[in-house]
């Protein structure tokens, strides 16, 4: 039995399960019996061959015992419907680390959005392999950690980064144009917890120098892609993308200037979607509500 409720919180339930009748009714009935008020509900069914159902439900309720709620939901709803599910609570803000190199545009966009209250997360630290952006972070009272990558010292640098992420209890990390490839060891420690911005419309022009490659190819669209990091370079599940039209009149520097504006917007939208618990991962794809 659930304890007598005293705390009013908002919760977000993310669900993936085989598609069948009664899923929405089962979840809604369970929440109704708890006295919860459903604030938002979104759902998506795949084609019949795959036969999967995805749902995001945000609700408000008074609750003291989260473990009891989760156990009861698992027994009464999730297990009978073969659900994979996660629940997030509004009384726990996500803790976001930012890793950046020398380019400042994505970092500054995130900091501005965070300062204005658009990104409802905490930023305990910024980590960089270059020292240039320390003043911008400390001006906002965000600790800045300069951890250079010298020849032959990448493993030691990553060890230091990993220690900081653990010490600060980081929930997810944003690579805001961090121009280093993370090792498989690093990525495997933080699965589905690292968001990267790549300066092209993936899968086109993965890897280095995408703007130069786009110019050489004579494309008419350039873009940016925010994705979760995996051990396959620039192949992780895509969260957000956008493009801008270009022409033969644009030089490489023009593409870079236009692209940086897209990068800022795309990364911010992806980070906000992650913070707001609007993403369900399915294989190498995402469902973003």
107: left (phi over 0), alpha (psi -120 to 50) or beta: alpha
Residue 73 tokens read as 């939901």
Distances (CA, A) of 217 to 221, 247, 263: 11, 11, 20
Residue 274 tokens read as 């992650």
Catalytic residue among 91, 159, 234, 242: 234
C-alpha–C-alpha distance, residues 222 and 257, integer Å: 11
Task: Specify whether 234 is catalytic.
Answer: yes
C-alpha–C-alpha distance, residues 108 and 106, integer Å: 6
Residue 147 tokens read as 């951890």
Rg (CA), the chain: 21
C-alpha–C-alpha distance, residues 158 and 186, integer Å: 7
Active site residues: 234
């Amino acid at each position: 039995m659930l304890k007598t409720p005293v705390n009013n919180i908002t919760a977000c339930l993310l669900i993936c399960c085989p598609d069948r009748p009664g899923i929405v009714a089962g979840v809604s009935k369970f929440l109704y019996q708890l006295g919860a008020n459903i604030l938002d509900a979104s759902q998506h069914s795949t084609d019949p061959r795959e036969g999967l159902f995805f749902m995001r439900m945000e609700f408000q309720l008074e609750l003291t015992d989260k473990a009891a709620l989760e156990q009861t939901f698992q027994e009464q709803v999730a297990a009978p419907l073969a659900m994979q599910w996660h629940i997030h609570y509004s009384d726990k803000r996500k803790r976001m680390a930012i890793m950046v190199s020398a380019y400042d545009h994505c970092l500054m966009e995130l900091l501005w959005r965070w300062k204005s209250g658009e990104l409802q997360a905490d930023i305990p630290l910024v980590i960089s392999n270059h020292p240039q952006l320390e003043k911008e972070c400390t001006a906002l009272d965000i600790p800045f950690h300069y951890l250079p990558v010298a020849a032959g010292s990448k493993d030691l640098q990553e060890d230091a980064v990993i220690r900081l992420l653990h010490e600060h209890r980081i929930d997810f990390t944003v690579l805001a144009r961090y121009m280093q490839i993370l090792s498989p060891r690093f990525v495997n420690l933080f699965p589905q917890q690292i968001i990267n911005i790549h300066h092209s419309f993936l899968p086109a022009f993965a890897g280095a120098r995408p703007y130069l490659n786009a110019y050489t190819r004579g494309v008419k669209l350039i873009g940016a892609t925010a994705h979760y990091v995996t051990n396959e370079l620039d192949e992780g599940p895509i969260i957000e993308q956008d493009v801008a039209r270009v022409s033969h009149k644009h030089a490489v520097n023009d593409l870079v200037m236009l692209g940086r504006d897209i990068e800022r917007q795309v990364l911010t939208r992806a980070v906000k979607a992650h913070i707001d618990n609007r993403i369900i991962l399915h294989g190498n794809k995402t469902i973003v509500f």
